[in-house]
Amino acid sequence: MITEKQIEEALKEVFGSLRFTEEPAGLYEPLRYMIQIGGKRIRPRLCLLAYSLFGGTLDERILAPAAAIEVFHSFTLIHDDIMDNAAVRRGVPTVWKKWDANTAVLSGDAMCIESYRLLAKAPADKLPEVLRLFSDTAVQVCEGQQYDMEFESRESVPMDDYIMMIGLKTAVLIACAAKMGAVIGGADATSQELVYQYAYSLGLAFQVADDYLDTFGDPAVFGKAIGGDILNDKKSWLLTKAFEMAADDALMHGALLDAMALPVETEEDKRRKIDAVREIYVKLGVDSAAKAEIRKYHEEALGFAAQLPVGNLAHEELRRYAESLLERAK
């Protein structure tokens, strides 16, 4: 089986050698910027891990598709940051903030196209299936982002709707990465589906953890400013759960509405709103509930992994990956 060290070295090599067209610099420099600022590379890493479960060597036929997923993910982040009015990503200015919104839109479009160029290097006999999986997932990610934006204008969102939204916006791309690795690695249909469900559950856990950290995390570790979801009135898992938990408590429900309605004109206003909403979350026990939800999805993921017809070493690698993905929310 391909080792974790080999996967790490392969990822370092592929992203270190990734090249985009030089001119016009205004279009392509943001692409290089997004790749250079890094990130956790959780999707390409999972793609290579899934591939390694079923044999094979790490060459361009799997490394290029794995990179394609990360490039596509970076494209979605560029556009998401515009829509979320986010100024910081991975501890540095977002593309639209460093350049401008028009440049970010166009560079994001170019990055999306570049992802398909990389994907086209998949093995010829697997390419139709890989393209279908990737394209279906890309549309689902856009659907998830649309739901996310529509939810912002609603006072509250049912938890089932929220889970559906993050499934589309976040979990499907992580699941796509895993299944793509399994497909290229030659896994049978049953194993492909188990790998997909393992990664999908991890994707849900990852998004709930991300929502938790946006309110209760350390900015130095989280990589962006804390409280962005609160300031932008985003229907995060925490806010959705808070409305659910306060449904039978008119006083707490009213306090939550009042806190969410606080102005954010000045830096002091922003701090006041974040503190007020966070205090209500703690009183309701939303922070503890989020951690329990993360554990639930983590256990679901390991349940799917346990059904895979692979050896003990492979099962241990899947467990270790799941643990590392969610370590920051502990």
The per-residue pLDDT for 55 is: 75
- 36-64: pLDDT as tens digits: 887 789 999 999 999 999 977 899 999 99
What the block records as the tokens of 210 is 């991300």
The domains of the chain are located at 4-245+285-322
Q: Given this model, what pLDDT does residue 56 score? A: 78
Low-confidence winner among 40-44, 154-158, 240-244 (lowest mean pLDDT): 154-158
208-217 pLDDT, tens digit per residue, is: 999 999 999 8
- Helices and strands of the chain, counted as H and E runs: 17, 2
The residue with greater pLDDT, 124 or 223, is: 124
- Tell me the average pLDDT across 315-322: 92
Three-state secondary structure readout of 281-297: HHHHCHHHHHHHHHHHH
60-96 pLDDT, tens digit per residue, is 999 999 999 999 999 999 998 998 888 888 888 999 9
Quickly state the pLDDT bin for 18 (edges 50, 70, 90): confident
CA distances from residue 122 to 4, 48, 135, 191 in whole angstroms, order as listed: 22, 13, 14, 20
Each residue of 246-279: pLDDT tens digit? 999 999 999 999 999 999 999 999 999 999 999 9
CATH class of the domain defined by 4-245+285-322: mainly alpha
Average pLDDT, the chain: 92
Q: Phi/psi of residue 40, each to 5°?
A: -80, -15
pLDDT score for 260 = 93
Tokens 């290229």 — which residue? 184
CB neighbours (10 Å) of residue 191?
Answer: 21
Output 21 or 165, whichever has higher pLDDT: 165
pLDDT at 12: 87
Q: Is the pLDDT of residue 220 over 80?
A: no
Q: With a cut of 80, say whether residue 112 has pLDDT above it.
A: yes
Share of the chain above pLDDT 70, in %: 98
Angle between helices 159-166 and 127-151 (to 10 degrees): 140
Residues 256, 191: Cα–Cα separation, whole Å: 45
